[in-house]
Every structure is written in C-alpha cells, then in structure tokens.
Structure 1
Amino acid sequence: MATPMTADKFVAALRAEGVHVVEYGSWRTHNRAGHGAWGPINGVVIHHTVSSGTDSSVSMCFDGYAGLPGPLCHGVIAKDGTVYLVGNGRTNHAGSGDGDVLAAVIAETKLPAPNEQDTDGNSHFYGFECINLGNGADPWPAAQLDAIERVSAAICRTYGWTAGSVIGHKEWTATKNDPRGIDMDTMRQRIDARLGTKPGTPPPAPTYERFPGDEFFKSYPRSPIITAMGRRLVAAGCSAYTSGPGAQWTEADRRSYAKWQRHLGYTGAAADGWPGRASWDALKVPHTS
C-alpha cells in the first residue's frame, strides 16, 4: 500500500523530473481533510479544466466553486507547461468511479470500460487539472503534454509504478470525457519511455508515421493511421469532427485536414484537405504499430 508523499517529497520528485513547479498560496495545508480518506495511493488521474487563462484557472482549482469546494486537484498544468501546486492531501478531483478500474490500476493491467460509480477516487489518486476548454478544438501545446508526461512519471518513479497507474478521468467514470483531445494510451507510452531514463533526462525521440502517399487517402482507407491523424488534428485545434475521429477516412477528415493546411499558411487548391508530404510531416502523426 502506497503512503502519500509529504509536500517536500512531492515537490522534490516533480523538480527532479524537470517539472517547472510554482507553489501556489497555502497549498501545503490546503485539502479536504475530514471529508474522506487520503490513501492508500494507487495512481494518477489527468483532467481538463473546461476553462481558459492561467490565473483564473489556478484560482478556481484552489478555491473551488459553488457546490464543489477546493482544492479541485493537486496541481494545475498550464499551457506553457508550468505546474501550479494547489492542494496537498485529499482533493475534490476524481469523485466516484468504477472499482474494477481501480483494481486494474493497482494490478497495472488493461483497463475495463467504466460502468459503475462505487468507489471513492479522491482517496486513491493524485489529480492534475490541465488548462483546456475541453471542446475538442482547444489545442494541447507540446509543453503542456510534456508536463503531463513528467508529473506522471515523477509519481510513478517514486512508487515504482509503470504508466499503467496513470489514467484519464474518462477512464475512471463514464460520466466524464476528460482529458478530451489526449489519447491516454499514447500518453502512457510516453510516460513508460520516460521511466526508462534517469530522472530529468529526455526520453527516446518519438517516431512518426511516414507519409503514406497521395493515393492512400483518395482510396478512402480504413486504417489506424487515420485515427492517429485525426487525433493530432484535434490536438492542433483543427477539428471539423462532430464525432470521432475514427479509422475510416471521411469528409470530416478532409475538412479537418484542410483546416490544418490553412493553419500552415496554405491557400486555394493547396488547402483542399488532401494530405501532402510537407503538411503531413509537419503534423507529426504518431507511429501506430
């Protein structure tokens, strides 16, 4: 059973992993003591704030709001990768979730789909709120994704866990969709890669899908490459999706890719939504196999 870290050990672990930490207000004594247990600790939950602006988001997560007192997490991850610590101890972040998911986290095995709310997540998980509108269009900057990777790795390294102990709120309960725009399987791969290095050192460089050629897309393929591409378009703020993205190339994929091309400065026929090598290489679609 994992014992919660002291405030000093928590800060030291994050900084050793290369995290830019800001200690916000009285975070060291700010918690929901008396409203449930804190520990044993079994993992980390990643959230999005459904807000914009660093100052207002950090303040909200520290103070809470009507019906949900703060702190609403342990740390707030800003767009620039800065992590603001707002709570130490039990916080109001995970809420009720599926006990089968908790069992899988403890065993670090494949997560089941959550279908119950029978377990208090606030007693078992560190929580990090990431500043994002959660609308599928607000981008996830590389610095913010890097900070998610680093804070998760820092906690996993402390307890000797793998990335199987890190989940998204949407994987804890079917009532949530956060962090929208982040593929948690890909994030766990990043965390495990980092855990294979010494603290604070960069993990191996990620690999990306090679451009599969013009005709690949115009054949309206069904492929995991299309899913990975769509997720990158969403993360880049270039979504025209009303659902998905999925493995089947659709008109929504073409419209989304056209947004990406316009984002890169292409116009006219060069922004028709059919991928080309230069725009594809700039998108950096993660390797799928």
Structure 2
Amino acid sequence: MEQTSHDPNRLIVPESGEDAQTQRGQERQHEDQHYVPVIVKRTDESRRHPDDILQTAINEGLLQYKRGVISLLLSSIAAGLVLGFTAMAVATMTVAFGDAEPLRLRVAQAVVYPIGFIICIMASTELFTEHTATAVYPALDRRVGPLALLRVWTVVLIGNLMGAIASAGLLAMAEPVVGAAEGYRQVGQHLVSFGFWPLLGSAILAGWLMALGAWLILATPPMVSQMVAIYIVTFAIGIGGLHHSIAGAVEAFAAIFIGGGVNWPEAARFIGIAILGNLIGGSLFVAVLNYAHIRKAEQVEG
C-alpha cells in the first residue's frame, strides 16, 4: 500500500454523505470552515477520536480498490516473501531452545515472531490479514460492492501465497547456512497437527489480533509507536501459538521443501482453515464491530 496511506496524521475526509450525518463529521466541517483542521487540533492528544480513525480506515481501504491488479499483486507477493524472515527466526529459535522447557521455547519463539510482520507492514506491502478488516470498511460504508471486496481479497491472498512459496524455497536453499532444518520440521508438524475446530478457533484469534493491529497503526503516530503496536499484536500471536495463514504457509512450505513429515494435502488443509479463521476474526470481530459501534455512537439524534 502507499506509504502515505499508513500515516495516521494524514486524515482524508470522504466524499460520502455518511460522514456529514455523524456528530464528529459535523465537527470536522465546522473546524474546516474556521481553517483549523481537525488533525492539527488532535495531534497532541493521547487518544484520537474513533470516528477520525474510522474515516482514515475507510479511505485506507479505498486506496487499495483504486490500485491496478498487477500493482496489488506484486505488493502482496512482496509481503509473502518478507514473512519468510519470521519463519526463519522462529525455526532458528526452535533449534536454539529445543532442549529448554516448553514455556521458555514458546517465549523465545514469540520474541522473534514479529520480525517479518514489522518489516512487511512498515514497508507498506499488502498482507491478507490486514485486509480482512481494512478492505471491509469501504464495503460497510457502501462505497464499494461485494464483488470489489472479493477481488481485493483474492488478489492479495494469491499474491501472499505466491510469495510464501517463493520464500519457503529460498529458505530451503539457504538451509546449509541457516542450519534450522529441525526447527522448520518441528514448526511445520505442529501447524498441521490440530483438528478443525481448535485450528479454526486459533486462526480466528490470530485474525482478530492482526486486524486490531491494522487499526492501532491508524490510531497511533508514525514509526516507533506503530512498530510497538505491530510487535504487541504479533507477539501475542506468537506467545499463544495462534495460527496466521500466511506466516504459517511459509512455515508449512519450508517443512515440505526441507523434508519434514509435512505433505501438500496437510499444508493445504491447514492453510484453508487458517484463512477462514483469519477472515472471520478480522472481518467480524474488528471491521464489523468497529464500524457498527462508532457509526451508531456518532449518529446525530434527530
């Protein structure tokens, strides 16, 4: 996505009449008439108005609908590639702490799990679990239709998986240098070992956290605080052992390429369930709830 679109200090007021019907929307119009932009008045506030964040989120999503398919696909491939660094870091920690007690191993994995996500999001590449919510806000605001939403989801997901396969291949090529083969095997086998419902529930929680992370990025000042927000939500995914569809895809593909007891049907099953869970967690528990409670709270009575 465009780097400027991630800057929460850059508030874009939509053309839709929906905004004018909210109390916050009327405040913005009044402030604009007096040449005092709302974002200037609120720069130093510790908390930004929820409706301001929602308007920025809607326009953030709209930017992706306006992009060409090739541009969106290439950015999505880049995101899948970058998450290979998370898979490499987790596998390396798995080898380094393999003899440690389970809690120490999980903490070690969680500490490095955010690496790929921080690079991915700060580099403004397109990650599917961001778009489970970001792409939904314009649809909820009736700015785009369901087919356009499916188009964005499909392009981003395909690009992420293409990048994940390529990244896993690179990890397999570099394995003699990295020396984390056993880590890839253990992580891959762990991913595919769960039944449908535990895996779905785990993926819902992971999708929920990732979509919350995207919301926090829009709600916080640039750079350092955004990186902290990304680290917090992805650390929570790591410490909980939750299932992220794209990062998990890289780990599963790496285990296959290295030869670790994970096969393609098992990987496909895991990825399919994880995608469904991430989609539910991001779209329902973040996008729909955020949009509904903010719009309802801000409706001007009468």
Please report the TM-score for the alignment, with normalisation by the length of structure 1: 0.26
Higher relative contact order at CA 8 Å, sep ≥6: structure 1 or structure 2?
2
Please report the TM-score for the alignment, with normalisation by the length of structure 2: 0.25
Q: Quick check: which one's helix share is greater?
A: 2
